[in-house]
Amino acid sequence: MIIVQKYGGTSVADLDRIRNVASRVKATRDAGNKVVVVVSARAGVTNRLIADAKSLAEHPDSRELDMLASIGEQETIALTAIALHSMGVPAVSRTGAQVGIKTDSEFTKARIVDITGGDLNKQLDEGKVVIVAGFQGVTDDGQITTLGRGGSDLSAIALAKAVNADVCQIYTDVDGVYTADPRVVKDASKLNEISYDEMLELASLGSKVMQARSVEFAKKHNVVFEVRSSMNNNPGTIVKEEVASMEDVVVRGVAADKNQTKVVLLGLNDQPGTAAKIFNALGKANVNVDMIVQNVGRDGIANMTFTVPTDDAFKAEKAIDSIKDDIAAKNFRTMTDRVAKVSVVGIGMRSHSGVAADLFTAFANAGINIQLISTSEIKISVAVEVEKADEAVRVAHAAFGLGQA
Amino acid sequence: MIIVQKYGGTSVADLDRIRNVASRVKATRDAGNKVVVVVSARAGVTNRLIADAKSLAEHPDSRELDMLASIGEQETIALTAIALHSMGVPAVSRTGAQVGIKTDSEFTKARIVDITGGDLNKQLDEGKVVIVAGFQGVTDDGQITTLGRGGSDLSAIALAKAVNADVCQIYTDVDGVYTADPRVVKDASKLNEISYDEMLELASLGSKVMQARSVEFAKKHNVVFEVRSSMNNNPGTIVKEEVASMEDVVVRGVAADKNQTKVVLLGLNDQPGTAAKIFNALGKANVNVDMIVQNVGRDGIANMTFTVPTDDAFKAEKAIDSIKDDIAAKNFRTMTDRVAKVSVVGIGMRSHSGVAADLFTAFANAGINIQLISTSEIKISVAVEVEKADEAVRVAHAAFGLGQA
């Protein structure tokens, strides 16, 4: 088999952990596999480099930041190859440029446009383990780029596609994807498999296992991957295209995002175009809006509520303030309040009705007040008091029978 | 003018020094010049990386060592570019590969075979300062190489050739090339100029300003360069092809190498071929032999004396021992003794006679015993007791009137 393994910064944080990674890679190769390893920078290295850059210039040039940051992974690939050699394993390191991870020129957040693979297959055929620097690529004119947050996962999935790998393993510090955060829900259980769409909803809903872009890339190119721990040999969670049997499970998992702020606009002018003006202004300010509710107007006055990430709340208020004269009726006011967004996710919802009713009933029985609701084809999200978030997750988790058998 | 400036590891050791380098570069550009800057890794960085590699494997693979070591310079180029930006200077960093410093595949000590320059001239024409990573290159098939000791000087001189620079400045922690080591000779004076051949002799004789290979490259490609300090604005020493006026100065400088060992072979078989056997054996053992003296034999027995670098002395004794039966007559013995090699250098010697006589007279008057002598067209070297080395340098320096006026 051809296996791609990705190890993050914590897994290669020091020389002992690099040896540990090398041992795992050796075991995989000794079992008769061709192995491509993707590694991140050692934990803390990238941050130190960026801090140096920022102490030289308030806003360092993004091209130079990529030139700088990319050395973190280059350090790890060489050290990992050397560790493998010391165990008698033939191995060779490759930068992103050397395996032809071609990107656009959006430095610090480049997008992969193509992967040539360089001499990857040749090296694998010669029995060598190839250690590739994650997180980095190269433009058509030879400039070094980085892929932004979660970039090494993306490198691994893209390389799995390029070498037509049988297995792509994303090693991390958790055992896989859980039905809920095990720190919140004691009987949360690890999922054996999950569909791309479910994983995408969980990623965007505050379950921090992987960035959505890597999952999107995997879905687009149909790369099956596994999220698993580098600290043990437990099987992890397989992420793949949905199969019919997945629909038997109505709710796959429950996630909570506690960094949401509810923005309430009272006393709006109830005329066509008011909503458009509001969301145009928010869009221009790069505010990510979610969970919109507009109340039916009375006497020409309407109210509107939506949520934004708490980091964007101030920007949102400023944007609203800038168009106040255009949208305000009598007694216009803006109110903000921190909320938590609790979501249940499952592709089974497409073919099962009554999920929302079951969820709302469970919350009502537990005395949890629902402030806002938004739904998609495979997800129901509700905004609740931040203080009630953990309880709401536990209630939802129990309501859909997600606990360990 | 097009100016290439090279700054070594001490000059870019920390962020403050990188700012200092950026200020100097800015001043050079503000004076209307096109500037290419070659930088080394921050002092200590390369050693730390190599130490990490050696703690993972006793003999790390040389290809991986180059992958690893090359990040030191990549860090410096990005930080230097960012420092220049913060001063409002347009600047762009380039790795060795990006400016097409093509080398052979002798990892950790690669030789430059070609320099394409990449987009260097285009960037310069656009008014940008280009910061190039010294010490590194790339093979034809895209593998990262390093050039070995003194590699950044070599990068600078090679780039000066590639862009047809008007000036190539090698910034270091000394003011230039002196007539003798100022720590030994109080009135040693800085040379305004020196020929390649003189510089080569001084480099190989233990004057540590530059590695001989960089000077050889400059001589071969006729690149004029200046050795000067990054701590002040004093003019340094210009190194260039000799001109007629240089011959007026008989002795340019005095150097001492205290790491020499004298090997004396007593009781050799005085037959044709004995010397050949000895130096073949030493050559096979990679021992660098210097200052050979063979005494005329008597009664079929000869003696021979030569010097080797002290680090090679043990290897030399072993090599001699391995062929003992082939070369020994009665009472064969090997004796070794540490010595210092003191040399006077000057292309003026070619056209001036009597230099050796003047030197030996001065030593005799000072009571310094000469153990061995070797000469070249532009150099006279003598081996003396290590304890007398500094005094011998001072005596020679005074004898040829090299002190400051």
Q: Where are the alpha helices (DSSP H) in B188-243?
A: 196-204, 212-221
**Rounded to a whole number, what is the distance in Å from the CA of A47 to chain B's nearest CA?**
13
pLDDT number for residue B271: 81
Is the model more confident about B72 or about B202?
B72
Which residues make Cβ contacts (< 8 Å) with residue B15, sequence separation at least 6? A52, A55, A56, B79, B83
pLDDT number for residue B231: 86
Which residues make Cβ contacts (< 8 Å) with residue A180, sequence separation at least 6? A188, A253, A254, A255, A393, A394, A397, A402
Q: How many CB pairs lie under 8 A apart between chains A and B?
A: 105
- The reported pTM is 0.85
* CA gap A122, A99 in Å, rounded: 12
Chain B partners of A118 at a C-beta cutoff of 8 Å? Answer: 142
Please state the rounded mean pLDDT for residues A199-207.
79
| Among chain A residues, CA nearest to B81 | A64
**Helix and strand totals (H; E) in chain A:** 12, 18
pLDDT number for residue B258: 92
Task: Test B68 with A74 for CB contact under 8 angstroms.
Answer: yes
Least confident piece of the model among A100-104, A208-212, A324-328, B131-135: A208-212
pLDDT number for residue B342: 94
Please give the DSSP secondary-structure letter assigned to residue B381: E
Please state the rounded mean pLDDT for residues A229-244.
90
pLDDT number for residue B234: 93
- Could you report the predicted ipTM of this complex, rounded to two decimals? 0.84
**Rounded to a whole number, what is the distance in Å from the CA of B314 to chain A's nearest CA?**
30
pLDDT number for residue B297: 66
**Rounded to a whole number, what is the distance in Å from the CA of B271 to chain A's nearest CA?**
50
For A2-173, which CATH class?
alpha beta
**Rounded to a whole number, what is the distance in Å from the CA of A10 to chain B's nearest CA?**
18
E strands, B134-222, in order: 136-138, 144-146, 167-172, 193-195
| Nearest of A343, A393, A383, A381 to residue A262 by alpha carbon | A383
The count of other CB atoms within 10 Å of the CB of residue A11 is: 24
| Among chain A residues, CA nearest to B99 | A142
**Rounded to a whole number, what is the distance in Å from the CA of A69 to chain B's nearest CA?**
8
| Nearest of A185, A305, A204 to residue A257 by alpha carbon | A204
Preferred mutation among A14, A18, A63, A64 to probe B, highest tally of B CBs within 10 A: A64
Mean pLDDT across chain B: 92
Tell me the per-residue pLDDT of A133-166, one tens digit each, with 9 for 90 and over.
Answer: 999 999 999 999 999 888 999 999 999 999 999 9
* CA gap B324, B333 in Å, rounded: 10
* CA gap A77, A94 in Å, rounded: 7
Please state the rounded mean pLDDT for residues B67-84.
98
The answer to whether residue B402 scores a pLDDT higher than 90 is: yes
- Report the percentage of chain A scoring pLDDT > 90: 78
Tell me the per-residue pLDDT of A122-134, one tens digit each, with 9 for 90 and over.
Answer: 999 999 999 999 9
User: Which chain B residues touch A if contact means CB-CB below 8 Å?
Assistant: 15, 18-19, 49, 52-53, 55-58, 60-61, 63-65, 67-68, 70-71, 74-75, 77-79, 81-83, 85-86, 92-93, 95, 97-98, 118-119, 142, 144
Chain B partners of A81 at a C-beta cutoff of 8 Å? Answer: 61, 64, 67
The answer to whether residue B330 scores a pLDDT higher than 70 is: yes
Q: Which residues pair with A102 in a beta bridge?
A: A114, A138
| Among chain A residues, CA nearest to B53 | A79
Please state the rounded mean pLDDT for residues B319-336.
90
Task: Test B55 with A15 for CB contact under 8 angstroms.
Answer: yes
Please state the rounded mean pLDDT for residues A200-219.
84
The answer to whether residue A297 scores a pLDDT higher than 80 is: no
DSSP state letters, B277-306: HHHHHHHHTT---EEEEEPPPBTTEEEEEE
Task: Test B98 with A142 for CB contact under 8 angstroms.
Answer: yes
Tell me the per-residue pLDDT of A359-374, one tens digit each, with 9 for 90 and over.
Answer: 999 999 999 999 999 8
Which residues make Cβ contacts (< 8 Å) with residue A357, sequence separation at least 6? none
